Amino acid sequence: MEVPPQKASAALDADTIAAVATPHGRGGIGIIRVSGSSADRICRTVTHTETPAHREVRTATFHDMEGHPIDAGLVVFFEGPRSFTGEDVLELHGHGGAVVIDMVLAATLSAGARQARPGEFSERAFLNGKLDLTQAEAVADLIDGATQAAVRSAMRSLRGEFSERIDVLAESLRELRAYVEAAIDFPEDEVDFLGDGTVLRRLNELQQQLCDVADAARQGTMLTEGVTVVLAGAPNVGKSSLLNRLAGEERAIVTAVPGTTRDVLNADLELDGIPVRLIDTAGLHASNDPVEQEGIRRAEAEIAKSDLLLMIADATQPGSAGLIGVAEAVAGDEGTRILHVRNKIDLTSEPASEPTDPTDPTDATEEVVRISALTGAGIPALRARLTQALGLKSQDEGVFSARRRHLDALTAAAGELKEAIDAFERVGAGELLAEDLRRAHDLLGEITGRVSPDELLGDIFGRFCIGK
Ligand SMILES: Nc1nc2c(ncn2[C@@H]2O[C@H](COP(=O)(O)OP(=O)(O)OP(=O)(O)O)[C@@H](O)[C@H]2O)c(=O)[nH]1
Ligand SMILES: [Mg+2]
């Protein structure tokens, strides 16, 4: 998808940049990438031959500034604007040794390039209109993708699926703004114009579309950023045993002594393609021991940051104590979802929970999941309930990668629309409506980078790896 070039920005320097594009270390091949108007001259200086034609591959020897050969490999040249950055781009494919590749990079720097900042190639691609902002972010998310589903969704965003949905929304908003602003410009007709129900109907339609895209973006955020699930409960209920069971390895120490876990400990796993960080915590109970008190304080801090709280109870023990109520209150304040689990059912006559079919409405899900961390009974049901509680949909439904920043902008835009609808229903004034719509429109523009404050760009591209 070609996008129009972005506004000129201080972030776009006219100079030529270079960086190692392959990982640091030992490998068969190491690639140096150079972008900018001097790429052609640098190519001739380093290879002592003519620059290849656009997309042509040639063999060459790479030389340092004294003319000594350093390495031999392939040279590829992309003539701007038909390149990743939109500028002339040179790639030198040499041998992948840490020292030799640094020597080739040094040769390009001596020949007139400067070391690229992290993300600077992608930033130039964005500023030159080769990618929009969500696509540039998708490049980084593809590289960082922790699961196959995360990679596939990043690829969908890179191909522009997410941007397209935002563009469709932005276009509907733009049309509605034009309609409302036309009404304001002809005050004698304003009442008829705005009062015939069309505006309200379109506002409500837009609100619905915005919520649909926000829902999809929420899924994408989980894929890109992963989710955290905290295991909490009274001492000795089997939190660490459950962490080990779900992680499939003995990560945490388990003993019959209450108060075994004192610090926060985590394990990473995959749940239906979503990267999940499981966090084991110290047992919650009233304690005078300063170490335990600190452990409990940390447990509460983790709960506040988590996406889901698994409250574990011991099926052989009577009801929970006061501190567990505190944990639930912490979760409640932060809007963290809570799933209740009864563990150690192997010691009771309770049956283990069975996985329910989320598509079957008669298949009512129970409030509490009954499991045994020791025998593994009920664990498939727990995994299914976790997926459900996190609101994960099937990954086959074309989920695209997204980030918290996109979700925040969509939520804020939905807020502006809601305000617009409320105010319009109350007073029916065109001016207020136009202002709310303009703000919602700008928020959508920030997602794809049609409207992009410089500090936002610095923040986004600064997190990329060097050479991308
Ligand atoms: N029978 C049975 N024993 C269990 C089960 N889960 C855990 N246990 C036992 O319960 C004891 C405590 O288990 P842990 O996993 O250390 O419990 P915890 O909640 O992490 O305890 P603290 O870290 O001390 O708060 C150990 O002896 C486990 O073997 C279970 O499902 N069935
Ligand atoms: Mg423990």
Distance (Å, rounded) from C-alpha 34 to C-alpha 27?
20
Residue 80: CATH number of its domain? 3.30.1360.120
Q: How many domains does the chain have?
A: 3
Q: Which atom of ligand 1 is nearest to the CA of 233?
A: 19
Q: Which ligand is nearest to the CA of 256?
A: 1
Q: Is residue 4, in this structure, part of any structural domain at all?
A: no
Q: Are residues 59 and 188 in the same domain?
A: no
Residue bearing tokens 């990668």: 401
pLDDT score of 35: 98
Distance (Å, rounded) from C-alpha 468 to C-alpha 461?
9
Q: Give the residue among 248, 299, 250, 254 at the shortest CA–CA distance from 271.
A: 248
Name the H helices within 248-357: 290-305, 322-334
Highest mean pLDDT among 233-247, 321-335, 417-431, 445-459: 233-247
Q: Which ligand is nearest to the CA of 241?
A: 1
Greater confidence (340 vs 399) lies with 340
Q: Is residue 293, in this structure, part of any structural domain at all?
A: yes
Residue 455: CATH number of its domain? 1.20.120.430
Q: Which atom of ligand 1 is nearest to the CA of 260?
A: 24
Distance (Å, rounded) from C-alpha 443 to C-alpha 451?
8
- Among 118-132, 154-168, 366-380, 441-455, name the one with the lowest average pLDDT: 441-455
Q: Is residue 10, in this structure, part of any structural domain at all?
A: no
Output the CA 434–ligand 1 centroid distance in Å. 60
Residue 275 contacts residue 150 (beta carbons within 8 Å): yes
User: Of 396, 420, 446, which residue constitutes the final position of a domain?
Assistant: 396
Q: Give the residue among 47, 125, 42 at the shortest CA–CA distance from 80.
A: 125
Residue 272's CB: how many other CB atoms inside 10 A? 17
pTM: 0.77
| Structure token pair of residue 209 | 């579309």
Output the CA 235–ligand 2 centroid distance in Å. 7
pLDDT score of 8: 39
Nearest CA to ligand 1 atom 23: 261
Nearest CA to ligand 1 atom 21: 236
Q: Which residues have C-beta atoms less than 6 Å from ligand 1?
A: 235-241, 254-256, 258-261, 283, 343-344, 346-347, 372-374
Distance (Å, rounded) from C-alpha 81 to C-alpha 56?
16
Q: What does the pLDDT average to over 439-454?
A: 84
| Structure token pair of residue 437 | 């719509």
Q: Is residue 147, in this structure, part of any structural domain at all?
A: no
Residue 322: CATH number of its domain? 3.40.50.300
Q: Are residues 243 and 360 in the same domain?
A: yes
Give per-residue pLDDT as tens, 195-213: 778 888 889 999 999 998 9
Which of 230, 231, 236, 348 for a ligand 1 pocket mutation test, highest count of atoms within 8 Å of Cβ?
A: 236
Q: Which atom of ligand 1 is nearest to the CA of 372?
A: 31
Q: Are residues 46 and 109 in the same domain?
A: yes
State the pairing for strand pair 27-35/57-63: unpaired
Give per-residue pLDDT as tens, 161-177: 999 999 999 999 988 88
Give SS3 for 264: coil
Find the angle CA(27)-CA(33)-CA(36) to the nearest 5 degrees: 175
Output the CA 75–ligand 2 centroid distance in Å. 56
Nearest CA to ligand 1 atom 27: 256
Residue 135 has pLDDT above 90, yes or no: yes
Q: Is residue 411, in this structure, part of any structural domain at all?
A: yes
Amino acid at 274: I
Output the CA 278–ligand 1 centroid distance in Å. 17
Q: Are residues 236 and 383 in the same domain?
A: yes
Q: What is the gyration radius of the CA atoms in the chain, in angstroms?
A: 28
Q: Which ligand is nearest to the CA of 255?
A: 1
Distance (Å, rounded) from C-alpha 428 to C-alpha 445?
26
Residue 458 has pLDDT above 90, yes or no: no
Q: Is residue 137, in this structure, part of any structural domain at all?
A: no
Q: Are residues 247 and 386 in the same domain?
A: yes
User: Of 66, 96, 131, which residue constitutes the final position of a domain?
Assistant: 131
Q: Are residues 269 and 377 in the same domain?
A: yes
Distance (Å, rounded) from C-alpha 2 to C-alpha 155?
16
Q: Are residues 239 and 356 in the same domain?
A: yes
Output the CA 331–ligand 1 centroid distance in Å. 23
Q: Are residues 390 and 256 in the same domain?
A: yes
Output the CA 242–ligand 1 centroid distance in Å. 8
Residue 385 contacts residue 310 (beta carbons within 8 Å): no
Residue 305 has pLDDT above 50, yes or no: yes
Residue 375 has pLDDT above 50, yes or no: yes
User: Of 380, 396, 412, which residue constitutes the final position of a domain?
Assistant: 396
Output the CA 274–ligand 2 centroid distance in Å. 25
Q: Which atom of ligand 1 is nearest to the CA of 237?
A: 19
Q: Which ligand is nearest to the CA of 237?
A: 1
> How would DSSP label each residue in 164-222?
HHHHHHHHHHHHHHHHHHHHHHSHHHHHHHHHTSHHHHHHHHHHHHHHHHHHHHHHHHH
Q: Give the residue among 149, 207, 226 at the shortest CA–CA distance from 399.
A: 149
Q: Are residues 217 and 234 in the same domain?
A: no
Answer whether the bond into residue 4 is a cis peptide, omega within 30°: no
Q: What is the mean pLDDT of the chain?
A: 86
Q: Are residues 232 and 344 in the same domain?
A: yes
Q: Which atom of ligand 1 is nearest to the CA of 373?
A: 31
Residue 399 has pLDDT above 80, yes or no: yes
Give per-residue pLDDT as tens, 9-68: 433 446 999 999 998 889 999 999 999 999 999 999 999 999 999 999 999 999 999 999
Output the CA 329–ligand 1 centroid distance in Å. 25
Q: Are residues 179 and 262 in the same domain?
A: no
Give per-residue pLDDT as tens, 67-112: 999 999 999 999 989 999 999 999 999 999 999 999 999 999 999 9
Q: Is residue 1, in this structure, part of any structural domain at all?
A: no
Name the H helices within 7-92: 39-47
Give the structural domain span for 52: 17-131
Q: Is residue 109, in this structure, part of any structural domain at all?
A: yes
Q: Are residues 105 and 238 in the same domain?
A: no
